[in-house]
């Protein structure tokens, strides 16, 4: 329990320390806090007893601050949350490290925002109470808004406002779903409000199917904005495009993961029948999203937006795999969250490092960087390969599992697992992977390989915005330098993570499996029930066909 509380309180304290320190000391304070939190998270991971049981730990009650509102200060997480906590604790110091030279103004605020964010994210992942989760989830918006709006690119204000409004409306919609459940639960159980996840899950999953439909639509609809799901995704590419490097890293690596985490922790368990009924709708949207975003990536010349759109496509696949309602798919989706966090964060770091040198993200303007920055190119190609799921790297494992989950989730002919999706879905999703390979390779070809193209002379001056006014070392005829030790140090942990998960994923998969099974469990029952109800009918209707299938 102490460790869990420390994970929330330490970054908060560090943030205030940052605000109170000097401009020069801020990065040291921020970095130090980030490392200490990473240490605490690691310690918690070692102490975590539920790696293979799928249970929640420490599940202990903290302060009874908001008990009058039915909010328990109950902290605990399962292996899925623990993985995301580790990811968060790793990404925050890395993203700070990569910003040392690019952020030259208002540094105290900058590093403080990251720590505020870390604290809120930790709270969201540790909460066993819906409102407690919501506090963390919603509070991330404030630092995120400021990071994009203050330290971002030209269109930073538009991007930040869009991010704010989309996310706020989305999370309020989820909140309505939660409150509806809690109020119903209170009415059913004698009036006492209780927002704890376990009681809402128990109440929600026993509601009539038509009610669950609405509950799922509200909760999932809200999280869909954060994931982001295709019709409501348009804030993300803009935010990514305009955010500072570290902001993009945190946005892709952590913040949008809260959306997925919310889906699997709240939307799926609280309204299983609703999820089942809406699965065709959401899966179709996910497929459309994956394909459409992959096509968009194909014609993107802004590298950062390209990676952002590919993020939308990837998250769509992860969500599709969740709607497979089987353990393999759920495992794949969870692993996908971690892997995407590592590889996409790595790509954003690479692009940020390049941007710091050239002040452009346009592939038409800059390219062939292999000749100028060989070490950088190694990292860029490596993370791109991890992201397009090269076998041996982490992306492959999760993508394979996701596709397998989707493929096997058909009506029972192929594997005996009844479900909604099936080979057709898997085929279409796999098509997107081919597209993924196309656009990533096109990007690498233009951007890393090929003839060297660099922005010339003063021509690029307007690319740098005011925060980079001092960073003109790349201008003129001065030769651009390759990555330095600090930048390598920031990217190395992510690269190591990609390799380790790629060649030895079994510990993580073993850890995720029971937790994933817990989430899937109600669905297996429901699907079997539906199948049992449907079976006699089909048998009566087409006995010949049934016989044919049996043979």
Q: How far is the CB of 348 from other proteins (least distance, A)?
A: 22
Q: Which is nearer to other proteins, 134 or 407 (CB)?
A: 134
Q: How far is the CB of 220 from other proteins (least distance, A)?
A: 16
Per the CB < 8 A criterion, the answer to whether 124 and 115 are in contact is: no
- Residues 130, 32: Cα–Cα separation, whole Å: 31
Residue 459 makes CB contacts below 8 A (sequence gap 6+) with: none
- Residues 335, 289: Cα–Cα separation, whole Å: 20
3-class SS of residue 403: helix
Q: Which is nearer to other proteins, 164 or 439 (CB)?
A: 164
Q: How far is the CB of 368 from other proteins (least distance, A)?
A: 37
Q: Which is nearer to other proteins, 137 or 358 (CB)?
A: 137
Q: Where are the alpha helices (DSSP H) in 232-326?
A: 235-242, 245-250, 256-262, 268-270, 272-298, 303-322
Q: Which is nearer to other proteins, 43 or 179 (CB)?
A: 179
Q: Which is nearer to other proteins, 120 or 345 (CB)?
A: 120
Q: Which is nearer to other proteins, 187 or 533 (CB)?
A: 187
Per the CB < 8 A criterion, the answer to whether 54 and 77 are in contact is: no
Query: Backbone phi, then psi, for 319, in 5-degree steps?
Result: -70, -40
Q: How far is the CB of 466 from other proteins (least distance, A)?
A: 8
Q: How far is the CB of 83 from other proteins (least distance, A)?
A: 25
Q: How far is the CB of 164 from other proteins (least distance, A)?
A: 6
3-class SS of residue 377: helix
- Residues 350, 497: Cα–Cα separation, whole Å: 16
Q: Which is nearer to other proteins, 61 or 530 (CB)?
A: 61
- Residues 85, 107: Cα–Cα separation, whole Å: 25
Six-digit token pair at 428? 């279409």
Per the CB < 8 A criterion, the answer to whether 268 and 281 are in contact is: no
Q: Which is nearer to other proteins, 3 or 120 (CB)?
A: 120
The CA–CA distances, whole Å, from 509 to 83, 246, 336, 345 equal 11, 29, 11, 21
Q: How far is the CB of 356 from other proteins (least distance, A)?
A: 22
The CA–CA distances, whole Å, from 464 to 95, 395, 467 equal 20, 33, 8
Q: Write the DSSP string, 123-189.
A: HHHHBSBHHHHHHHHHHTHHHHHHHHHHHS-TTHHHHHHHHHHHHHHHHHHHHHHHHHHHHHHHHHT
- Residues 490, 97: Cα–Cα separation, whole Å: 6
Residue with the two structure tokens 């109950």: 74
Q: How far is the CB of 239 from other proteins (least distance, A)?
A: 14
Q: How far is the CB of 175 from other proteins (least distance, A)?
A: 7
Q: How far is the CB of 3 from other proteins (least distance, A)?
A: 21
Q: Which is nearer to other proteins, 162 or 372 (CB)?
A: 162
The CA–CA distances, whole Å, from 407 to 161, 264, 272, 391, 412 equal 39, 20, 21, 19, 11
Residue 451 makes CB contacts below 8 A (sequence gap 6+) with: 367, 368
Q: What is the CA radius of gyration of the chain?
A: 23
Q: Which is nearer to other proteins, 165 or 209 (CB)?
A: 165
Q: Which is nearer to other proteins, 212 or 326 (CB)?
A: 212
Q: How far is the CB of 212 from other proteins (least distance, A)?
A: 15
Residue with the two structure tokens 């029972």: 412
Q: How far is the CB of 307 from other proteins (least distance, A)?
A: 25
Distance of CA 426 to the CA centre of its chain: 21
Helix-strand-coil percent breakdown of the chain, rounded to 5? 75, 5, 20
Q: Where are the alpha helices (DSSP H) in 409-452?
A: 423-447
Q: How far is the CB of 49 from other proteins (least distance, A)?
A: 29
Applying CB under 8 A, which residues contact other proteins? 64-70, 131, 134-135, 138-139, 141-142, 145-146, 149-150, 157, 160-161, 164-165, 168-169, 172-173, 175-176, 179-180, 182-184, 186-187, 193
The DSSP call for residue 99 is T
The DSSP call for residue 326 is S
Six-digit token pair at 448? 């890393």
């Amino acid at each position: 329990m102490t460790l869990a509380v420390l994970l929330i309180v330490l970054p908060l304290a560090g943030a205030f320390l940052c605000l109170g320190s000097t401009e020069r000391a801020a990065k040291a304070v921020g970095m130090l806090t980030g490392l200490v939190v990473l240490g605490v998270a690691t310690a918690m991971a070692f102490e975590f007893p539920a790696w293979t049981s799928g249970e929640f730990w420490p599940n202990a009650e903290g302060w009874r601050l908001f008990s009058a509102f039915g909010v328990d200060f109950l902290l605990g997480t399962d292996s899925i949350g623990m993985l995301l906590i580790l990811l968060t604790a790793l990404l925050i110091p890395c993203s700070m490290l990569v910003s040392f030279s690019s952020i030259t103004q208002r540094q105290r605020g900058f590093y403080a925002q990251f720590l505020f964010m870390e604290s809120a994210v930790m709270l969201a992942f540790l909460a066993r109470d819906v409102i407690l989760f919501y506090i963390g989830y919603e509070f991330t918006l404030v630092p995120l808004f400021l990071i994009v709006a203050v330290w971002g690119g030209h269109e930073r204000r538009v991007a930040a406002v869009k991010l704010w409004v989309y996310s706020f409306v989305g999370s309020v919609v989820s909140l309505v779903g939660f409150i509806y459940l809690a109020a119903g639960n209170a009415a059913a159980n004698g009036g006492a409000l209780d927002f704890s996840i376990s009681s809402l899950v128990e109440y929600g999953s026993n509601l009539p199917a038509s009610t669950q439909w609405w509950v799922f639509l509200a909760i999932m609809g809200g999280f869909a904005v954060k994931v982001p799901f295709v019709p409501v995704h348009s804030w993300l590419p803009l935010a990514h495009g305009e955010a500072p490097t570290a902001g993009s890293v945190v946005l892709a690596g952590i913040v949008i993961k809260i959306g997925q985490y919310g889906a699997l922790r709240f939307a799926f368990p609280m309204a299983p029948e609703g999820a089942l009924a809406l699965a065709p709708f959401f899966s179709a949207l996910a497929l459309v999203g994956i394909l459409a975003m992959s096509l968009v990536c194909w014609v993107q010349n802004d590298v950062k937006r390209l990676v952002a759109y590919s993020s939308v496509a990837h998250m769509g696949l992860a969500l599709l795999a969740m709607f497979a309602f089987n353990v393999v798919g759920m495992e794949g989706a969870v692993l996908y969250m971690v892997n995407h966090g590592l590889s996409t964060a790595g790509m954003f770091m690479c692009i940020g490092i390049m941007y710091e040198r050239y002040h452009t993200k346009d592939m038409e303007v800059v390219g062939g960087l292999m000749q100028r920055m060989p070490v950088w190119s190694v990292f860029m190609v490596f993370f791109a390969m991890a992201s397009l799921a090269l076998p041996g790297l982490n992306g492959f494992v999760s993508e394979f599992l996701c596709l397998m989950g989707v493929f096997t989730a058909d009506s029972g002919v192929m594997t005996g697992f009844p479900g909604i999706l099936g080979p057709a879905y898997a085929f279409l999703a796999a098509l997107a992977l081919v597209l993924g390979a196309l656009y990533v390779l096109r990007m690498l070809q233009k951007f890393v390989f090929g003839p060297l193209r660099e922005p010339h002379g003063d021509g690029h001056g307007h690319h740098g915005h005011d925060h980079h006014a001092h960073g003109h070392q790349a201008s003129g005829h001065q030769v651009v330098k390759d990555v330095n030790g600090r930048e390598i140090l920031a990217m190395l942990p992510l690269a190591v993570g990609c390799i380790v998960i790629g060649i030895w994923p079994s510990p993580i998969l073993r850890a995720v499996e029971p937790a994933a099974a817990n989430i899937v469990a109600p669905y297996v029952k429901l699907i079997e029930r539906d199948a049992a109800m449907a079976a006699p009918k089909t048998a009566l209707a087409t006995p010949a066909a049934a016989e044919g299938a049996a043979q």
